[in-house]
Structure 1
Amino acid sequence: MAKLGEGDKRWIVEDRPDGTNVHNWHWSETDCLDWSRNFLSNLLGNKTLLSGEGNLFIKTKKLDKLEGEAYVNVRKGKIIPGYELNLVLSYEAEAKDSDGKSVLLTTEGSVEVPYISDENAGEDPEIRITIKDDGPVGKRLKDAFIAKGKPFVFEKIREYVDVMSKGGPAKDDLEVKKVSVKKPVSGSAAAAAAAAPPPKAGGSSEKEGKKKEKKKEGFKTITMTEKFSCRAKDLYEILLDENRWKGFTQSNAKIVKEVGGEFSIFDGSVTGKNMELQEGKLIVQQWRFGSWPDGIVSTVRLTFEEPNSGTTVVKLTHTDVPEEDRYGNATVVENTERGWRDLIFHRIRGVFGFGI
């Protein structure tokens, strides 16, 4: 995960002179580390967990440490949180005798959660619970904290994760920017609109044409030509063989080598279907990345030519590649092009010795 302030500057637009990020169109990055420290301190600190049950008393003290990074990116109203945090919380514990009058032990302990990350937002993180006194009474107090305090800590971390997913400290600012004031329509403007002639009958086809053009806005086409020192049929076979895919990508792959056959490559991050196959000459497939918005499918067309014996030229045309993924990241085209070049073509050369 990129650290705060170290993102690709091409995708972070400098502030406007008037300080406005209209409709949150551009990247807006908010540092949330101090806010996270205060938020988690309020959630976790100075909370009573046991107040005499079984003659045990346990209370959290304060958040001793919260280190790492936390930020929220917003673009086009989409919230993308990022955080990697290490948390340490202290607690105090006391045990009394069976009559509840004499104190058997007063001690302290700590709770460490070494890795709270947006990558594992749906899972409870690892937790380490220690206590200073490791005798029988101390062990009893530690077990009581595990039973009562561990669920409490997890619950509060989930609250933090939920608030971060909604924007954290950037949420209020985001809500303000969503509000738009509509100017009232003047009487003359309303009258002009009412008097406007109805659209011509022949205008519908023109509008439909414009709609068709708009459907392709936000998509790009990738083209690439690569040479390999091999026969065209050998390269064709490699690209449709799941075991060879596993070999040169070092990832899981499943490929049904027939027209209409489905495939899954790069550990399932790319899925698709074979649309047209001509042995040693042509592969046409549907490709979809899991990070793309729902319903978007691209088309990959690979043609194989053998101008000289033992030399193959592959021409790639990858159409309908979205400019942004479902999270608003505008690096899809760049990453897809680099993936074809570095993770597929260059690795095939390196693994199978097809270099030019």
Structure 2
Amino acid sequence: MARMGEGDKRWIVEDRPDGTNVHNWHWAETNCLDWSRNFLSNLLCDKTLLSGEGNFYIRTKKLERFEGEAYVNVRKGKIIPGYELNLVLSYVAEAKDSDGSSVILSTEGSVEVPYISDENAGEDPEIKITIKDDGPIGKRLKEAFIAKGKPFVFEKIREYVAAMSEGGPAKEDLEVKKVTPKKPASGAAAAPVSNNAATNSGSSAKENKKKEEKKKEGFKTITMSEKFNCRARDLYEILMDENRWKGFSQSNARISKEVGGEFSIFDGSVTGKNLELQEGKLIVQQWRFGSWPDGIVSTVRLTFDEPESGVTVVKLTHVDVPEEDRYGNATVVENTERGWRDLIFHKIRAVFGFGI
């Protein structure tokens, strides 16, 4: 072991004269607050939402308030965004008469988004829409903004979240530079073709096989077994019926009951499709969380067994759950397991009284 103050130089990250962070080995942080303000201003401000539809005219104005923090960290090429923002966007609204020649009402309103956070990157944030005139026409203008403006605001915030996940203003600086292969010196003889081509081909095949095997590294399987005081077909129906799902989860859901049909639960933070369905016996689905890296899907298998009348045992196997989300958080498996237990199985017991 090296004595104090005499560290082994092989393990020391020294400052380079050119200031280069070689391969982004240590943490590099970029403040993104000003960039975030400009980015969201360009997306949200001075945009026409309605231009005569129903004789309504609505246009966004400017960010009246923009507060919080936003930054991007990088470690060995891995981009880790962090942000907690709140903003207020103003808008103007007008209602004209039936022929559009004169203004009946001209008023203003605001859109408050109190919490945009990297913790909730896969979910749309809460939003509060107000209007100064609370008369009948003002209320109709507010409703028009909710119908047209709310989806617009959500869409632009998703664009911001996606941009931050890619590095925000530091995207180019945070990319790991690839080493360009050196070209042979001018006039140098080309390397002769090796007689070991077959051996090299075999080595390449082995490397490809290893790469295929390594694809599953970084994934886990969740298994769970729960008992309920109910019939198997009743529990199956609860999990496949969007209205009942909304009831126990207190969130929006859209669920197809057909094989190959798609579903969206927990306000769209989880999406997927049905792979195999046997009423009262089996549910096999493809699941994907919005916070997972692009292209990653998992498989959920739920089996229902009724060992005695009125008692159902449901067994869960959830495979290919990534250990990290797209932001580098290594709590995906833990959070997914807790979600199954606390947000699904225990909530079903609490709402429908299927205790054991």
TM-score (norm 1): 0.55
CA separation of 1:243 and 1:183: change in aligned 2, threshold 3 A: closer
**Structure 1 86/208 Cα, relative in aligned 2: closer, same or farther at 3 Å?**
closer
Q: Deviations over 1:249-303 (max 9, x none)?
A: 0111111112122111111111111111112111101111222222222110001
* Correspondence for 1:257: 257
**Counterparts in 2 of 1:31-50, with a 5 A limit?**
32=31
Call closer, same or farther: CA 1:297–1:186 in 2, change over 3 Å: same
Alignment of 1:1-356 (within 5 A): 18=12, 23-24=23-24, 28=27, 30=29, 32=31, 68-75=68-75, 76-84=77-85, 119=117, 165=164, 171=170, 175=173, 178-179=176-177, 197-200=196-199, 206-356=206-356
| Cα offset, 1:77, TM superposition | 3.5
Which amino acid is the alignment partner of residue 176 of structure 2?
K
Change (3 A) 1:205 1:258: same
Question: Does structure 1 retain, via aligned residues, the 8 Å contact 2:68–2:83?
Answer: no
Relative to structure 1, is the Cα distance of residues 297 and 352 closer, same or farther in structure 2, using a 3 angstrom cutoff?
A: same
Match of 1:7 in 2: none
Q: Is the 8 A contact 1:25 1:77 kept in 2?
A: no
Q: Cα deviations across residues 173-218 of structure 1 (Å, max 9, x unaligned)?
A: x83883577897999xx99997582233666764553233122222
2 CA distance for matches of 1:311 and 1:252?
29
Mapped partners of 1:320, 1:181: distance in 2: 33
C-alpha separation in 2, matches of 1:333 and 1:22: 32
Q: In the TM superposition, what is the alpha-carbon distance from 1:82 to its structure 2 partner?
A: 1.3
The root-mean-square deviation of aligned C-alpha atoms, in Å, is 4.7
CA displacement 1:127-182 (0-9 Å, x = unmatched): xxxxxxxxxxxxxxxxxxxxxxxxxxxxxxxxxx89x948689x49x838835778
Deviations 1:194-253 (A, max 9, x none): 758223366676455323312222222111111212221111111111110000001111
Tell me how far apart the structure 1 counterparts of residues 318 and 22 of structure 2 sit (CA, whole Å). 33
Does structure 1 retain, via aligned residues, the 8 Å contact 2:284–2:300?
A: yes
Change (3 A) 1:71 1:211: closer
- The alignment of Structure 1 onto Structure 2 pairs a total of residues equal to 250
Q: 1:193 to 1:318 in 2, by over 3 A?
A: farther
Q: Structure 1: give runs of 5+ residues left out of the alignment.
A: 1-15, 41-64, 88-112, 127-160
Flag the 1:85–1:262 CA change in 2: closer, same or farther, 3 A.
closer
Give the 3-state SS of the residue equivalent to 2:198 in structure 1.
coil
Give the AA of the match of 2:74: V
Unaligned runs of 5+ in 2: 1-9, 15-20, 39-64, 89-110, 129-159
Is contact 1:29–1:73 with CA below 8 Å preserved after alignment?
Answer: yes
Contact map agreement 2:253 2:263 (CA 8 A) in 1 = yes
Checking the alignment, whether the CA contact within 8 Å between 1:81 and 1:118 is kept in structure 2 is no
Q: Supply the distance in 2 between the matched residues of 1:228 and 1:219 (Cα, whole angstroms).
A: 29
Closer, same or farther in 2 for the Cα pair 1:167/1:183, shift >3 Å? same
Residues 79 and 174 in structure 2, CA contact (< 8 A), matched pair in contact too: no
Counterpart-to-counterpart distance in 1, 2:112 and 2:233: 52
The one-letter code of the counterpart of 2:196 is P
Cα distance, 1:323 vs structure 2: 2.2
Structure (1 or 2) with the larger CA radius of gyration? 1
Change beyond 3 A, Cα 1:236–1:344: same
Pick closer, same or farther for the CA change 1:117–1:193 going to 2, 3 Å: farther
Give distance in 1, aligned partners of 2:298 and 2:87. 41
Report the CA distance shift for 1:193/1:304 in structure 2 as closer, same or farther (over 3 A).
Answer: farther
Partner of 1:142: none
CA, structure 1 residues 182+269, in 2 after alignment: closer, same or farther (shift >3 Å)?
Answer: same
Are the equivalent residues in 1 in contact too, given 2:72–2:79 (CA < 8 A)? no
Distance in 2 of aligned mates of 1:332 and 1:298: 12
The answer to whether the 8 Å contact 1:70/1:85 transfers is no
In 2, Cα distance between equivalents of 1:298 and 1:266? 17
| Change in 2 beyond 3 A, CA 1:72/1:347 | same
Distance in 1 of aligned mates of 2:340 and 2:292? 17
Aligned counterparts of 1:115 and 1:267: Cα–Cα separation in 2: 17
CA separation of 1:254 and 1:182: change in aligned 2, threshold 3 A: closer
Q: Aligned partners of 1:312, 1:117: CA distance in 2, in Å?
A: 41
Query: 1:199 aligns to what SS in structure 2?
Result: helix
